[in-house]
Structure 1
Amino acid sequence: MTIEMQQPEPYLITVLILEQFAMITFASTIEPFREANWVVGRKVYQIKVVSHDGNPVRASNGISINVDGSMDSVSASSLVIVCSSWDPHLYTSPKICSWLKKMARQGAKVGGVETGAYVLARAGLLDGYKATIHWENMEGFVETFPLVKISTSIFVVDRGRFSASGASAALDMMLHLIALHQGSSVSSAVADGFVYSKVRQGENPQRLDSSGRLNVTHPRLIRILKFLDLNLDKHLDVAEMSRSEGVTDREVRRLFSMYLNVTPQAYHRGLRLQRARLLLRQTSISVTEVAICCGFSSSSDFSRAFRREFGQQPAADRREIYYLERPAEQASKSEAHLWSN
């Protein structure tokens, strides 16, 4: 008589996808666990993909995918991952928030990818926790959820919460979670299977700083650019930039002219206007408040600068992105369907 060793139960992972989720982020989230099963040689991870109502979900690229059921069909899970991208505020309902809180109370580790942190924060699950979100959504997130300890890292794991900022960051984070659960050898084998030779740690920044994006190598100019990156909430004149580095105003102007072909004031104003545009598109704060947050002396001064930079007034830009991202008819139908369930 032979005695068969009982295999441990698979680790249950539930992935909740919201309308307009990013397909590449979704794949980066689930594929590492599928590959881990192949590496280990048995079903270590069992993945269930759900929507709020069990119906197919349309990704941001227009492709709809079927799901395994509704979130209510999940009674227990070891890991819950929210996968969302565009307009998470439009698709985060009270029912979703209640379900996430229930799963957390039952002991599930709960996280999100790309803009999934928004959904968790709306459910109150990130208050007092460190978290990250895609850099384009960060300004609005900070304004909306001041109790969350926001990080610019590519991914963050804080106690029973975790978040990743985008597609490749989701892959990095899943490899990290697999390493914690199955060991670094399994995680490394998964990365090898994806021909992913440079696995990043969570503390890596989401974006290059300004000097990196602009390919600037002059050490003095690099320091000035970092100083300006940290002061997007105020108008700085050349004298203040000069004092930060202990050089003359003339030297600051020379560096900007030689390496960037722009004046220091115009460069910094452009940064502040880009930040203002993100706030307009991601928050509901007034144009006047946006102007103050970005160092403009008045809303009229801000509006003039904004129109010169982007070709239209701030309020018009806010309306335009609203209708570009979610046509009125589609948005109203989606909201009505979601909030009625």
Structure 2
Amino acid sequence: MIDILRDADYVTDRVNHQWFTISVDSREVVAMNGLRSICDYTVETAPQCDVVVVCAALGGHLFEDDRLFRWLRSRYAQHTTVGAIATGTWVLAKAGLLSNHRCTLHWEDIPAFEEQYPRLTVERSLFVRDRQIFTCSGGTAAIDLFLQLVSETLGPEVSSDVARQILYQTIRQGSEVVPIKESPFRRIGNQALRKAAQLMHDNVDFPLSIETIAARSGTSQKQLERLFDQHFRTTPQLHYRAVRLDQARALVRLTEFAIWEIAIATGFSTPQYLSKCYRARFGISPSQERRNLARYQDPLPSVVLHDGTS
């Protein structure tokens, strides 16, 4: 994200942007890859700017600090554009800034985020810009987002020059769908199979019978079983269970819901049955997985990155 702004200055040979980093307090910020950063300001000392961007990786859903939430709300009230990269969207949601706004975040977090915030409108897009708020799915999508911002402020030729400078061949639009796990089903030519797979993904909490799925897909149960065996070497029942277990794993990793709540949300009759199926699929119990993830989810001070156009 910062490199796009830096290279925009480079290719135009003038200072177009200024940026600085902020943490909640004066402690250094440690990135997921171990890189340590000393931030320029704290939320108490940060100067005014045009845009605020909250950056987060794993553990964004765990971050809790009313100082940051209040500060973000105050900047928003002062008509500052507020954005988030990857799981930084959790922070904006907790700050109460996403009501009546469309948003997105990293694909891995979307199921848990929708469960936690059912009233928010989440799009499976590279990035979403909705009035004073923008959110981004993370990774290279941040490049596309900021190339678009550069195009709007400095012109498409500058944006193209920056893309060329960083060897980026195609600038993607925010509306492009994030590659998600079920995307292989979208490429299947058989309409009944594609419809059946979509029904399974759309009905996790109250699972449909295979007979119902077959009927809604316009085929018989026996034919649906043949299609799943032909294309995926499995049965509809086992595939459906795998879909629900993948959803359960996202909730285990990205929420604080109790295991019994996750069992209900993913259509398992008891938490014990969920744990049994979970261990069979992933080789670990839900509770043990949570304990193992703790080392990745230490809620360190969130990095808040600012971009001010001069």
Instruction: Describe the shift of the 1:240–1:122 C-alpha distance in structure 2 as closer, same or farther (beyond 3 A).
Output: same
Give how far 1:118 is off. 1.0
User: What displacement does 1:217 show?
Assistant: 4.5
Using the TM superposition, give the Cα deviation of residue 68 of structure 1 relative to its aligned residue in structure 2, in angstroms: 2.3
Q: Secondary structure at the match of 2:207?
A: coil
Structure 1 gap segments, 5+ residues each? 1-28, 336-341
CA deviations 1:28-75 (Å, max 9, x no partner) are x11111111122221111111222224432111112123323233322
Q: Does 1:298 align with 2:304?
A: no
Deviation at 1:211, TM superposition (A): 4.8
3-state SS, counterpart of residue 140 of structure 2? helix
- Is 1:277 the counterpart of 2:249? The answer is yes
**Aligned structure 1 segments of 4 or more residues deviating by more than 6 angstroms:** none
Q: Which moved more, 1:231-240 or 1:102-111?
A: 231-240
In the aligned structure 2, how far is the partner of 1:54 from the partner of 1:173? 29
Amino acid of the structure 1 residue aligned with 2:130? D
**Superposed, which structure 2 residues align to 1:1-341 within 5 Å?**
29-208=1-180, 210-212=182-184, 216-322=188-294, 324-326=295-297, 331=298
Q: Deviations 1:310-340 (Å, cap 9, x if unpaired)?
A: 2343333333323x425xxxx59x58xxxxx
Instruction: Mark the CA change 1:169 to 1:313 in structure 2 (over 3 Å): closer, same or farther.
Output: same
Structure 1: distance between partners of 2:166 and 2:64: 32
Gaps of 5+ in 2: 302-310
Q: Higher relative CO (CA 8 A, sep ≥ 6), structure 1 or 2?
A: 2
| Cα deviation, residue 89, structure 1 | 4.0
Tell me which amino acid in the other structure corresponds to 1:304: K
* CA distance, structure 1, for counterparts of residue 152 and residue 281 of structure 2: 47
Compute the displacement of 1:144 (Å): 2.8
**Closer, same or farther: CA 215–104 of 1 in aligned 2, 3 Å:** same
User: Counterparts of 2:21 and 2:289 in 1: how far apart (Å)?
Assistant: 36
* Contact 2:107-2:180 at 8 Å conserved across structures: no
TM-score (normalizing by structure 1)? 0.81
Give yes or no for contact 2:251–2:262 (8 Å, CA) kept in 1: yes
CA contact (8 A) 1:52 1:96 kept: yes
C-alpha contact 1:56 1:65 (8 A) present in aligned 2? yes
Distance 2:186 2:123 in 1: 23
Report the Cα distance in structure 2 between the residues aligned to 1:219 and 1:144, rounded to whole angstroms: 32
CA distance in 2, matches of 1:208, 1:63: 28
Q: Which one has the largest radius of gyration?
A: 1
Whether contact under 8 Å (1:211, 1:225) holds in the other structure is: no
Task: Give 1:135 shift.
Answer: 1.5
Q: Identity of counterpart residues, as a percentage?
A: 32
Aligned length: 301
1: CA distance, partners of 2:279 / 2:233: 22
**Contact conserved, 2:25 with 2:42, CA < 8 A, in 1?**
yes
Aligned-residue Cα RMSD (Å) equals 2.2
Q: Quick one: distance in 2 between partners of 1:299 and 1:162?
A: 38
1:213 Cα deviation after fit? 6.9
Paired with 1:212 and 1:90, the residues of 2 have a C-alpha distance of: 31
- Matched residues in 2 for 1:106 and 1:214: separation? 43
Provide the TM-score with structure 2 as the length reference: 0.89
